[in-house]
Structure 1
Amino acid sequence: MNLEKILAISGKPGLYALKVQTRTGFVAESLVDGKKVTVSLKSNVSLLSEISIYTYDGEKPLSEVMKLIADKENKGQAISHKEDNATLLAYFKEILPNYDEDRVYPSDVKKILNWYNTLQAKGLVTDLAPAATSTEETTVMEDEKKATEKKSVAKKTTKVKEE
């Protein structure tokens, strides 16, 4: 399982796994106690895969931040989210040195570490998406896309000449 089906539901503690979509919302299962809850479409729900952390260079997806924590901890538990703010921020600075200190609050760091430890306790840390692709892989993908676009343009030009 990756972060695509992991939810944070406003007003409810912990994380939830998306199970089934219904007409009026969806059913989610708590990762903490396994209880299923029905969530209406009016509820404020966040997919963990859609959350990013502010850095001075832009935004970093939560999956990449969690991957950095997992690498630091050898996929083990991180420090508790109940530590004092100074300890949490110092730890987070080790993980993500360029995070935007003006826009990332201690409460955000607490949530991230709590979520990471919840996922780790359920054995889902090994399934986290890998960090960003390398520059070499990105270049190969862009080259393939350009080649496909050139073929498409060549076919259109041939059709125009035939008419």
Structure 2
Amino acid sequence: MELKEIAAVSGKGGLFKIVKPTRTGVILESLDEARTKLVASASQRVSVLSEISIYTTTQEGAEPLEAVLQKIFAEFGNDTGVSGSSDGDELRSFLRHVLPEFDEDRVYVSDIKKLVNWYGILVKYAPEVMKPNVEETKEAKKAPKKEAKAEIEASEVEAKPKAKKTTKKKSE
């Protein structure tokens, strides 16, 4: 399962797996033990997790949720040490530890509570989304090799002496 297959619905707690789209909305299934199904209509706000970012003060202006979740998993594993019921200062300090450049003016405590709750649900019911994408990892490993190969080829070209062109004079 990937983050692009998981959604949050405004007004509904928890996370939902996207089952399939319909003409008027989308069919969702909760990620908890109950596995309740829900048809979200166009009037409901459905947010796919792969499209969510957290505001930062960097030049990019935001960090994708997937990258933040992977940082949390790398740092804390299955237990973050905080919960959605923790106080605001504790939640802000948690996010500051994971993402020091988050924009404190635009990221509210309620957003951090959602992040912590979502993280708990994902670790329990969809832990595979916490691991880096295999295709991205393969591409990242291939990119330096291509550059190195290009550098080697360029140095070989420079090292080879240029052959002199000889022209034969026609004898008259």
Asked if structure 2 preserves the Cα contact closer than 8 Å seen for 1:63 and 1:129, the reply is no
Partner of 2:55: 54
Asked if structure 1 preserves the Cα contact closer than 8 Å seen for 2:123 and 2:130, the reply is no
Partner of 1:120: 123
Residue 138 of structure 1 deviates from its aligned partner by 9.6
Other structure's SS at 2:19 match = strand
TM-score normalised by L of structure 2: 0.73
> Which amino acid is the alignment partner of residue 55 of structure 1?
T
Asked if structure 1 preserves the Cα contact closer than 8 Å seen for 2:2 and 2:128, the reply is no
Identity of aligned residues (%): 40
Unaligned regions of 5+ residues in structure 1, if any? 145-163
Partner of 2:83: 80
Residue 42 of structure 1 deviates from its aligned partner by 1.9
TM-score normalised by L of structure 1: 0.77
Partner of 2:43: 42
Q: Which has the higher contact order (CA 8 A, sep 6+)?
A: 1
Other structure's SS at 1:19 match = strand
Unaligned regions of 5+ residues in structure 2, if any? 148-172
Cα RMSD (Å) of the superposition? Answer: 2.4
Paired with 1:7 and 1:129, the residues of 2 have a C-alpha distance of 18
- The higher radius of gyration belongs to 2
Paired with 2:141 and 2:64, the residues of 1 have a C-alpha distance of 17
Other structure's SS at 2:101 match = coil
> For each residue in 1:17-74, what CA deviation from the matched residue of structure 2 results, as whole angstroms up to 9, or x when unmatched?
0001112211100112310011112211100100000111121000000001111112
> For each residue in 1:94-152, what CA deviation from the matched residue of structure 2 results, as whole angstroms up to 9, or x when unmatched?
11111111111111100001000011111x23333628x69x939939x89xxxxxxxx
Matched, 1:111 2:100: no
Asked if structure 2 preserves the Cα contact closer than 8 Å seen for 1:9 and 1:45, the reply is yes
> Which amino acid is the alignment partner of residue 88 of structure 1?
L
Partner of 2:156: none
Other structure's SS at 1:11 match = coil
Poorly superposed stretches of 4+, deviation over 6 Å: none
Other structure's SS at 1:43 match = coil
Partner of 2:13: 13
Paired with 1:30 and 1:106, the residues of 2 have a C-alpha distance of 24
Report the count of equivalent residues.
139
Q: 1:85 to 1:47 in 2, by over 3 A?
A: same
Matched, 1:140 2:125: no
Of the three residues 96, 101, 106, the one matched with 1:98 is: 101
Asked if structure 2 preserves the Cα contact closer than 8 Å seen for 1:31 and 1:118, the reply is yes
